[in-house]
Structure formats: C-alpha cells, structure tokens
A and B are shown apart, each in its own frame.
Chain A
Amino acid sequence: MTSNFLSLLFVVGLMLVAVPPITYLERKVLGHMQQRPGPMVVGFHGLLQPLADAIKLIFKEDIVPRGADRLLFMLAPSFSVFGALLAASVVPIGFIQAVPLKSGLLFVMAMSAISIYALVLAGYASNSKYSFLGGMRAAAQVLGFELPMGFAIMAMVLLYGTLDFNEMVKWQQEHGWGIFYQPVAFLLFLFMMVAEIGRPPFDLPEGESELVGGFHTEYSGMRFAAFYFGEYINIIVLSLIVSLLFLGGWSGPFAKEYPVLGVIYHLLKAGFFIFLTFWLRATFPRYRFDQMLSIMWKIMLPVSIVNVFVAALQVFLFRL
C-alpha cells in the first residue's frame, strides 16, 4: 500500500512539476524553429521565465465577467485539471504505477472525455460570443475525434487482447513493438491525440486569430492557469500512452535487469511525442472548422473502421 501511495505522490508530483519546464521548452523550441531566440530576459537564456509567469498568474486579479454563470464559470477549469490528473494516476511510468487498474486504457479515455467539459462549460458560462463559439467547437471536435480514436485503440486492444498497460508492454517485449503491426492505428492515434489536447493544427476551440482566445478568453489568474495545467498534463499523459501502445513502453536494452532504465526509456519515448506537438505547432496552420469536421467524419472514421477489420484479420490469421 505504501509503495502505491508513494508512486501516486510521484506521478501527481511529476505531472505538476513538469508543466512549467515544458512551457519553457515549448517557447524555446518554437522560437528556434522560427529563427528567433525565444524567452531570453528572465535568468540565463530565460530559464526563470516559467517562475515569473507563475508569480504573475498567482497575483493576477481573478475576474468573473458580468452576466456570466458564476458557478459554472468558476467550476469549469477544475474539470480540466482533475480529468488530466485522474487519467495520469492509472498510467504506468516504467515500473511506477499509482493505481494498477485492469481496464486502465478505458479509464484514461473516460477521464479525457470528462476533461472536455472544461472547454464546453467555460465557453457557455463566460457569456461572451467568442468563448461560446470556442465551446461549441470543442463539443463538435470531441464528437469528431472520439470515434476514430476509439477504433484506433480498439485495433490495438484486439492485437494485445488486454486493456491492462502492463500486459500490453509484456506482449510487446515478446513479439516486438505495436507500431510494426499496426502503423495505421499509430498514425490515427497520433492525429486524434493532437485533436484531443487541442493543439495546432486542431486548436479550433482556442483559435486566436478569429476567436481571440476561444473558451478561455474571459479567464484570468489561476483559473486561466488551470486550463494550461490540464492541457499540458494531457500532453504528457497521452505521450506516455502512445509510447506504451505503440513503442513498447519501457522495453529496451537491459530494461528487464534494471527497472530504472525502463522509466528513463519510457520518459524519453514520451518526450519525443511531447516535442512532436511543439513541432506540429511550429509547422502547420490551423484547419478550418468544416475542414476539421470532414477530415474526422469522412476520412478518419472510415479508415479507422477498416483498420479494426484488418487488426481482427491479423489476429485471426497469425494467431497472435
């Protein structure tokens, strides 16, 4: 029990502590990709920038706009953080897993479904047309990506025959990484993951250029920061899950003999996907709303359904 409690502390602590450095890294990476230095003023090469941002956010006035639905307005950001942290609690990082759940993968999906309410409710409660449009877009986007994502995951579940993360990694240690069996599911999952965390090119709920800030236009101070925490924790959690599902999680040379190496492998693989989200943000323009919907419903959904059939055939023919 105590080891479980310790690992819960470790996972939650890691998630909360990792967010400020990741925002710093994101700004640096974006900056260098756009041939500018990024934050440079606070500390050596802007290293203290996250700290300065945190101090600013903590001391900023917490504003509730006139005409807003006070209760929902104040409640909405907490959905984002709680959903993300609950999802994080069942994801194993190497040998560290806070809550060993048999249906861990499904639990993560359920929690990410809950954290979407942060955007929808914030958009509604702000009583501002920009926020409202952002919230509506978020709701439509959820309905769009959840089905293809579910089917992509279903293909992997068929392959591994389990919903337990540990069993999945064990399977991959014996048979090889999942990405070699199901490259299409990998691409689909990557695509839908970017849509789920609302990052470019699928950051329609925010849409700075047309919606000011979308659902979080009216927020300030720590409530605004809560959205950021939720978003970045979601990035970390989903990156960990991609590497679990497709890249063998903590498997690697000598990982069996030294479990600590497994943690490092897993975090490195996840780190690549975190970097990938920055990369996408620097590279791609945002999709238009109708383009996003037609991509989700007309291309991704049929492809993902066919892919489930392919996965079932694989399992049937090769007795995996």
Chain B
Amino acid sequence: MSEVFFYFFSVLSIVFAAVAVTSQNIIRGGVALLGCFVSLGAVYFTVGAEFLGIVQVIVYGGAIIVLYLFALMTMDLASLKSEPFKAFLVAAGGLLSVVTAFLLLTGGMVLTKDFKPSISGAEDLALPMFFKFLLPFEVVSVLLLIATVGAVAIGRRES
C-alpha cells in the first residue's frame, strides 16, 4: 500500500517541480514549488522516515517558501521581465543541469534495490550528527555563519 503512495507522491513532486520552473506567473511558480516540497515530505513519510518528512515540510514548506513569496510579492516583477536574454547564463545553467541530472542518475542506479531507510526518528538522526559527525556538522554551521555575515555585508553596502 505504501508503495502506491510512494510512486504517487514521487510523480506529484516531479509534476509540481516542472510547473514551478515553467510557470509564467512567478507566484504560481512559488506555490508549485511549495507543492513539490510538501509532496517530497510525503515521499519521506511513505518510506518510513517520518521525522525527515516533517522537517522537510517545516523548513522548506514553511519558512523558506513564505520568505520567497514575501520577497516576490514586494518586488517589481515587470522590470524583471524586460531584462535582456543572455546566452552565456542560459548555457551555464544548461551545463549545470546536465551535470546534476547525470549525478542524480548515477546515484539512483546505486539505490534501486531497496528504499527502506535505516534512520527514521529524531533520535536516530541526532545521535550520529552530534557524536559521530560532530566536526563536519560544526564546519557546516561555520559556513552558514559566514554566508549570513556576507549577506548582511552586501545588503548594507547597497543601501
């Protein structure tokens, strides 16, 4: 039964993702992205990783999309449309997408056998994170701090 839901939500998330990138109306695109994130969370649920699924919905579905929509609603969208077409940017984006698709496919090949995760609850996730992988975790947090400081610095310079 849960496999039916697994495939249903997988297809749903792909459809929403496709709508998100192709939508002309940027707010509708944002809402489609929300749908994509929530159905991804549901996919985690169907394979038994309920904690990850919930965190996916809280962090991406809740906080990040609200921020996106908040920013998009206040922006002048008409001026964005008139921006000239740049072949270089499209080429770079295309190249990156091809690389990502390749990575995802090769990763998918390895994982085709079984999609039952060994980690499901908050405890199973927290123990390795704060004991076994404490150093990488702290390095990532420093990286995030640098990014925050950088964002504040750039924001202040422009005003």
In the bound assembly, the distance between CA atoms of A117 and B73 in angstroms comes to 13
- Enumerate chain A residues within 8 angstroms of B27, measured Cβ to Cβ: 69, 72, 124
B66 touches A102 (CB 8 A): no
Note all chain A residues with C-beta closer than 8 A to B122.
103, 106, 163
Bound Cα distance A141, B54 (Å): 22
A102 contact from B50, B67, B69, B73, Cβ within 8 A = B50
Chain A interface: which of B57-65, B103-111, B151-159? B57-65
State whether the Cβ of B8 lies closer than 8 Å to any Cβ in chain A.
no
Chain B interface size, as a band, is 20 to 34
B58 near A72 with CB under 8 A, answer: no
Closest to A102 in B: B121
Q: Hey, which chain B residues are within 8 Å of A71, CB to CB?
A: 28
Is A116's beta carbon under 8 Å from chain B? yes
- Asked if B31 and A106 sit within 8 Å, CB to CB, the answer is no
Q: A106-B51, A110-B54, A113-B57 are in contact. Are A146 and B62 (CB under 8 A)?
A: yes
- In the complex, whether A160 has a CB less than 8 A from a CB of chain B is no
Q: Answer yes or no: B119 CB below 8 A from chain A CBs.
A: no
Q: Which of A69, A106, A132, A163 has the most CB of B within 10 A?
A: A106
Complex contacts, B74 vs chain A, CB 8 Å: 136
CA distance A133 to B148 in the complex (A): 28
A106 touches B67 (CB 8 A): no
A136 to B27 Cα, complex, angstroms: 13
The reply to whether A121 and B50 contact each other, CB–CB distance below 8 Å, is no
B105 to nearest A CB, angstroms?
30
- For residue A200, CB closer than 8 A to chain B, the reply is no
B interface, by DSSP: helix, strand, loop or mixed? helix
Shortest A285–chain B CB gap in Å is: 26
* A143 B61 Cβ-Cβ under 8 A: no
Chain A contacts for B61, CB-based, 8 A: 110, 113-114
Complex Cα–Cα for A109 and B62 (A): 9
Are A117 and B34 also in contact (CB < 8 A) when A103-B121, A132-B73, A136-B74 are? yes
> Are B73 and A114 in contact (CB-based, < 8 A)?
no
- Kindly state whether residue B38 has any CB partner on chain A within 8 Å: yes
Whether a CB of chain B sits under 8 angstroms from the CB of A140 is yes
A72 to B34: give the CA distance in the assembly, Å: 13
Contact A103/B66 with A113-B57, A121-B31, A135-B73 known, Cβ cut-off 8 Å: no
Bound Cα distance from A109 to B63, whole angstroms: 11
Q: Are B73 and A136 in contact (CB under 8 A)?
A: yes
Q: Given A121-B31, A139-B70, verify A113-B51 contact (CB < 8 Å).
A: no
Interface flag for A236 (CB, 8 Å) = no
* Interface: B146 (CB within 8 A): no
| Contact pick for B58, options A109, A121, A124, CB 8 Å | A109
- A143 near B50 (CB under 8 angstroms)? no
- Tell me which residues across on chain A come within 8 A of B67, comparing CB atoms: 143
Please list the 5 inter-chain residue pairs (A to B) with the smallest Cβ-Cβ separation, ordered nearest first.
Answer: A113-B62, A110-B57, A139-B70, A106-B54, A110-B58
| Chain A residues within 8 Å of B, Cβ to Cβ | 69, 71-72, 101-103, 106-107, 109-111, 113-114, 116-117, 120-121, 124, 132, 135-136, 139-140, 142-143, 146, 163
23 cross-chain CB contacts under 8 A: A69-B28, A72-B31, A101-B50, A103-B121, A106-B51, A107-B54, A110-B58, A110-B61, A114-B62, A117-B65, A117-B66, A120-B66, A120-B69, A120-B70, A124-B73, A135-B73, A136-B73, A136-B74, A139-B69, A142-B62, A143-B63, A143-B66, A143-B67
